[in-house]
Structure 1
């Protein structure tokens, strides 16, 4: 599974038509294109739709050709590592509304978003406002985008709906500090992200979840069979909110960052109780949290 790279160059939009590009890619023959063009005169359907309907090409091949025409990258969502920190920046409703799925962070300011229609500038502008990031559109098939949206929603609900109410923040924290922290903790992206990480760990049968602050980001790693595997990176600006969310769920002091703390989180998953031990440990770049 590959991770989209910010170094992958974008092509310029092509002046060729979609049919010509498909022939150039070796996906259809000139004869098949000619027959499809003739049919198009009567049906007024798009040439790509006709070729897909006749079994000449597959939907992902059409999407790749459209990507070449528009000058955007094509993403096979089943062969790409999707960063939950990115997907959680928008709601499921907005993802379906714009037929779009945030895939990963290309840098501190830019979000890679898979879209059915990457030429929809109105959707891109709205996504920029919703996420707070510049948006680099890419193209993916409609089937893949909605399949992943449904999968992520189901996965989050599996645990998120069963998470017990958070405990009250420790009274030793100053009122101002608690207010600032809770403003971040209560933001929907933070809540969805933490729930999504826990849901993914349960689904993957991971034994540990590690939140590890770094100089420019926070890594999330799962332990499988004694080995830690990186599953995502979280932008540094979300770090405090994510860590505080976990600490509140575990009844830890959110204002204490200098000494180790231990707590527990109780969940109901599939009707079965799951008890998670939580440990925080101060590091150079912030608190590391381990959930077991």
Structure 2
């Protein structure tokens, strides 16, 4: 209905047709489940109604200091735009003051300064995309009861090239009121879920009691919660994928049997490394390097994708663990058994003349199949020999890295690793416990659940400590995930055992269980 921007505001038929269309949009808004659905599915209809090019809906964040909008930038990617609630941007000004703005030319600095001396139009997006903003109609999404601004609705560029008309101003104010009601009714949809699987309850796939019971059962049986939900609760991967997508705020990517294997991206990646690091490049497109992950936050924090592909811009999509492993198998096929001895593994690792590798080379070396097997073998041997700690001690120059086990309180030498692998072996351990591989100047602490990487159900507490020459020492403490011992198996004297039973049977007081770490 482009006539609303062609001087047809006085035309009764045009006005009736416009508000009839607005009522249709209003009904669809009330039928949606969340704000993303309004943005991604109703955007075209709203733009058509107002004869505008683009629509953006901002939501006031919980801190009430910024507004944010989730914008679809391609088939697989969604980008979050955040602006401060302040006078230095058009949308931020509307969120701050609650006033509607109808701007003729966003590039006209005099027009913007007449509204606020601090206001400016951010041209970075236009310069990057080649799209130029001119007209802007921006209105607050405010509660009719309290007057609180819940968000901002913004239309960009009329199709006629003229300023947005009076009827468009009236319509966007009504649309803002409708959205305020929708925001209030769906406030839970705007709140970040507290857990990866909370969305299953919101989607009525599980009850809260069922999710709690499944979580407890998975913990008792030593299974992943995802596997239990798929096997015993008969959920579909797409159900879980939708929930974790909402939690992490990135698109869900299901397994696709027809996906083409990206040979150029997989050239320097090993199957074992990809499987354990839990990220996999799928394709490179104009949006960036589409990367499949099970935990986007871990991938972003570790910057491991940027380190392996320094010239690429990662665009993350999330998937379930089972679908990730299906894709890994699709790209790499089966993996060889990891049963080589530590001496055989060391014989395959050749020394070079370098004084150490940069981070990018460390990551590449850490992905090497032989190094991955070596680290696993060190942990397995430490457990089998009854060691309580593993000490990784790199030395400067061309001296080999010493690895020692602590058994019965005493440190005993285990093996020495070529100096060229001193940084990659530390990097590999950091990857296993989700630490920042680029941080080498500060101590870090983490843990490894070794069941993800090897045949043992044990946990390791990891500490890294910077040493001289830019090196890092690593200490790993082994903690067995054993079942609790019955009281009568603790080896107490009979008198002490009787006193213990009498003490803990009392209905009052505090009983302390103290002992060494682990």
Q: What's the TM-score, normalizing by structure 1?
A: 0.41
Larger radius of gyration: 2
The structure, 1 or 2, with the larger RCO (C-alpha pairs under 8 Å, 6+ apart) is: 1
